[in-house]
Structure 1
Amino acid sequence: MAAKPKIVVAGILDTKGNEIKYLAERVAAAGGEPTILELSVGREVGWADISIGEVIAETGHTKEQVFSLDRGKAADIIIEGAIKVVRKLYNTGKLDGIIAFGGSMGTSIATRAMQSLPVGVPKFMLTTMASGDVSPYVGTKDICLMYPIAEAGLNKVTRRILNNAAAAIVGMAQAPELGEAADKPLIGCMMFGVTTPCVLRAAKYFEDRGYDVIINHAVGSGGRSMEELIRDGFIVGMLDITTHEIGDYLLGGVLSAGPDRLTAAGERGIPQVIAPGGLDLINFGPKDTVPEKFLKETHLPGRGLYIHNPTVTCVGVSAEEAYLIGEHIAGKLNAAKGPTVLCVPMRGWGACDLPAPNKDLGWAGPGPGPVWAADPEKPEWSLRAGRFVEALRQNIDKNKENLEVLIVDKHLNEPEFADLMAELLEEMLNGKWQKGSHTDLPYVTSL
């Protein structure tokens, strides 16, 4: 008979003890082996499998010290201890999944502990906060949130919900093994709507050659989670086609992935091929959320306004902003330890960055893409691409043998560009890449 999955059942027991006890009972009824982890902020209840005193002791404090603090400061210490406890349980084979029940305080503490566990470890949070902004609770991890209807009390409604949740976490922990599918090398890739043709073609290239490809949505959280997957060792090579989160970080858009975007692959030395996909756009919410300074500049070259839908409005990146982005990216790439190529498509960086309608490349028209601006000296090329390249020319370390910038006379969504990026990354993965690769193509030159 297979061993029962070991499930940590966590919560603030001095206010939700009855509910946590019942949840643990239902975990056992579903076939799991529960361990109750106390996260109480006010007092110790005395019956938990792992008491709050033990949790706090992991931080070098005593429970008396912590209970004398205000709840916010106490919670910070309890989070620190809970992270250490769940990591120890996981590393010693005593945690196959974790479930918690709580309001705002319990959710804040429990999910921070969950976030410390690797991707793939089942994590389930029953929380009344699930109906609002859940990004602080999920972070970049695979945490399942369920709205429990009520915050406290055992009755015919809450018992059913707690029972369902218990069955869910036990079921997750008993999921069948993936077999050979789990052993395929994994390529990381970032996508946004405007870069979809390029991403899907490049991804298929690797899937046809026996790789798995994970395609994250470049909406801020997607970039952060990709950086974390790289740091955790899941990714063998990075096909970083869509980097517009960097532009939102630098220019005040709402889809920023923070300062660490485009960092992890370089630090770990894994192969990476990069493009400025989507960096023609700064992203905001509804039109009335776009800062006035941008609205006043929509008459300027490339500064067009594009209302994607009622909740997403985009503003074009100016040529000078593209220069600033180029400086930032150059700094990131100069620090890279592994093989790194930045491919710059000079004829546009996404579906909105086209001189004329082209459904295959993502823009149906009418007229040019809303943020297109032609380079006066070479009208078939983008003005912002030219300034971006100038920043790279002045800031990239050309003496590094592991780093190259390629100027590509194509649009990002043209098939040849996707193939170029995929072939370069494949060469890196096979240990065959060297500077100058693919510059024999008539549309590719080295910076």
Structure 2
Amino acid sequence: MKPGLNILIIGTADTKADELQFMKQCIEREGARAAIMDVGVLGTPAFDPEISNAKVAAAAGMALKDVATLGDENAAMTKMAEGAVRLTLDLYAKGKVQGVLALGGTMGTDLALDVTASLPLGMPKFIVTTVAYSHLVPPDRLAPDVMMILWAGGLYGLNSICKATLSQAAGAVLGACSTVVTSKSARPRVAVGGLGKSCLSYMVELTPQLEKRGYEPVVFHCTGMGGRAMESLIEQGTFVAVFDFALCELSNVLRGSVVNAGTSRLETAGRLGVPQIIAPGASDMVDVQTWAPLPEAYKGRPYHAHNRLIASVTTTHEERRELAGFVAKKVNSAKGPTAFLLPLKGIHAWDAPGEALHDPEGHQVFIDEYRKLIKLPVDLRVLDMHINDSSFVQEALGIFDHWVETGLIQSGVPTTTGV
């Protein structure tokens, strides 16, 4: 274990005193240090946390008694979350904390999501929660590298099952702090949205070409959390450019699919002026759970089962028109260099002739809508090719290279290794 590790434990000390102190003991038994931040509002803890709830409230600009008299538990914990974020970021900036471990039911989890989302990639963050990986947690609340474990059997008081969970969490955050490799790169990084090689294979050619140019490509699997992680890292200033070629998450969010990255997907790069090249890859379908009954509205539509977890159905003409409007509004509002590539011959492997989701009439609806809706200064390119063609990659790289030459994108760092 690395020497001098400091773990911040966050929870409501009035109701979770035994659990918080047990995790602290687990951490300190391994030679690290731990400090408890109390984010409770109403009760008085049976011990003295290192960071009191009064200090948390003060960091949010209020006295604790005023937080308690807000008259609404949601408003009170939201204010405490604000203070917890500020204190945690201050501790992190000063090098006084290397990992965060938070504990809670829905209330504590709500606060913990704010804290962990505020921290940069690579700073270990772990949440012990009664709603781990639940659909109650919206994707846009999740940090790209947050870890969760279900708080099984431990909502009220310690027991053998609860101790097993809490001790795992303590060990997990310690292990992460001990082995984490700092997320730094000598080369400028470029984000690439994808959906797996069997569906969208352009990254096989695109990524080595970016590496040859001196960039580090980072490919995201856009099945909900992948797109959310990409948006979060764009927000943190991680990338000099974005190849956003898998917009399936936008179709999913419109249709209510759980495989989505939130309504703000495809907005961050444009808002911040990050150069982006966009294509509507795999967005003519809706993703569903293979293991669940197919919704009545989708019965009779062309269907493709990717595996036992995820399957896809085609969207109707009207649904494609709605999506085109949804996407175009985001694309047209971009403040930085933006190109939109529109492949005439298809936007994923499963829409090719002979494949399960082949729908040339529906694809033409897409083409017609985007031609009408994408406006200058966006560089709209209608391409007589398929998104998985080598020529598509070359078209995208041509735009990228031009932006580099004109100074819109930072030049790559030459490398002799190609990696």
**1:410 matches 2:385:** yes
- Is structure 2 residue 131 aligned with structure 1 residue 145? no
1:397 and 2:366 aligned? no
Alpha-carbon separation, structure 2, partners of 1:97 and 1:341: 40
- In structure 1, distance between residues paired with 2:67 and 2:298: 48
Cα distance change of structure 1 residues 270 and 66 upon mapping to structure 2, 3 Å threshold:
closer
Alignment-derived partner of residue 91 in structure 1: 93
Counterparts in 2 of 1:252 and 1:214: CA distance versus 1, 3 Å? same
RMSD: 3.1
SS at match of 1:146: strand
Aligned equivalent of 2:327, options 308, 329, 334: 329
Question: What amino acid does structure 2 have at the position aligned with 1:424?
Answer: I
1:241-280 aligned within 5 A = 241-280=245-284
Shift in Å at residue 372 of structure 1?
1.6
Contact 2:41 2:64 in 1 (8 A): no
Of 228-237 and 327-336, more deviation after overlay is shown by 327-336
1:87 is displaced (CA, Å) by 2.1
AA partner of residue 336 (structure 1): A
Alpha-carbon distance in 1 for matches of 2:327, 2:109 = 36
3-state DSSP of counterpart to 1:276: coil
The normalised TM-score by structure 1 is: 0.80
Aligned residue among 346, 351, 376 for 1:348: 346
| 2:380 counterpart letter in structure 1 | V
Q: Secondary structure at the match of 2:346?
A: coil
- Give, as a single letter, the amino acid of the residue that structure 1 aligns with 2:185: A
Cα distance, 1:236 vs structure 2: 1.2
For 2:415, the equivalent position in structure 1 comes to none
Which residues of 2 match residues 310-325 of structure 1 at below 5 A? 310-325=308-323
Aligned equivalent of 2:63:
62
| Structure 2 residue identity aligned to 1:343 | L
Q: What's the CA shift for 1:149?
A: 4.5
Displacement after TM superposition at 1:218 (Å): 1.3
Aligned-pair CA distance for 1:163: 4.5
The match for 2:413 is none
Q: Residues of 1 paired with 2:284 and 2:114: CA distance?
A: 35
Provide closer, same or farther for how the CA distance between residues 203 and 134 of structure 1 changes in structure 2, counting only shifts above 3 A.
farther
Q: 1:232 aligns with which of 221, 236, 241?
A: 236
For residues 130-165 of structure 1, the C-alpha deviation after alignment (integer angstroms, 9 at most, x for no partner) is 375574597143112234544155567655654553
Amino acid across the alignment from 2:193: M
1:345–1:407 CA contact under 8 A, matched in 2: yes
Separation (CA, whole Å) in 1 of partners of 2:247 and 2:230? 12
Find the aligned partners of 2:152 and 2:253 in 1 and give their Cα distance: 36
CA distance in 2, matches of 1:99, 1:228: 20
| Matched-pair contact (CA < 8 Å) for 2:10–2:39 | yes
Contact 1:306 1:315 in 2 (8 A): yes
Q: What is the deviation of 1:205?
A: 2.0
1:21-170 equivalence runs, <5 A:
21-45=21-45, 47-67=48-68, 69=71, 71-130=73-132, 132-133=134-135, 135-136=137-138, 139-147=142-150, 149-151=152-154, 153=157, 162-170=166-174
Q: Is the 8 Å Cα contact of residues 284 and 313 (structure 1) preserved in structure 2?
A: yes
Superposed displacement of residue 18, structure 1 = 2.6
Deviation at 1:319, TM superposition (A): 3.6
Aligned ranges for residues 366-381 of structure 1 at < 5 Å? 368-374=354-360
- The structure 2 residue matched to 1:184, chosen from 187, 192, 196, is 187
Q: How many residues align?
A: 404
Q: CA deviation at 1:38?
A: 0.5
The one-letter code sitting in structure 2 at the alignment partner of 1:11 is: G
User: C-alpha deviations, 1:365-419, integer Å up to 9, x for none?
Assistant: xxx1222223xxxxxxxx3343323223323323x2xx21111111111222223
How many percent of aligned residue pairs carry the same amino acid? 29
Determine if contact 2:122/2:182 at 8 Å carries over to the other structure: no
Q: Secondary structure at the match of 2:96?
A: coil
CA distance in 2 between partners of 1:129 and 1:321 (Å) = 32
Using structure 2 for the length normalisation, give the TM-score: 0.84
Partner of 1:429: 404
The aligned amino acid for 2:287 is N
Amino acid of the structure 1 residue aligned with 2:338: T
Q: Using a 3 Å threshold, how does the CA distance of structure 1 residues 125 and 257 change in structure 2: closer, same or farther?
A: closer
**Do 1:216 and 1:223's aligned partners in 2 also have CA atoms closer than 8 Å?**
yes
CA distance in 2, matches of 1:280, 1:189: 19
Give the distance between the partners of 1:125 and 1:89, measured in 2 at CA.
18
State the one-letter code of the partner of 1:370: A
- Structure 2 equivalent of residue 388 of structure 1: 366
Alignment-derived partner of residue 414 in structure 2: none
> Distance between the aligned counterparts of 1:257 and 1:277, measured in 2?
15
Instruction: Point out where structure 2 has 5 or more consecutive residues left out of the alignment.
Output: 410-419
Letter in 2 for 1:106: G
Q: Which has the larger radius of gyration?
A: 1
What is the alpha-carbon distance in structure 2 between the residues aligned to residue 136 and residue 272 of structure 1?
25
5+ residue gaps, structure 1, are 356-367, 375-382, 435-447
Do the aligned partners of 2:275 and 2:408 also contact (CA within 8 Å) in 1? no
AA aligned to 1:384 is G
8 A contact 1:266–1:337 mirrored in 2: yes
**Cα distance in 2 for residues equivalent to 1:408 and 1:373:** 18
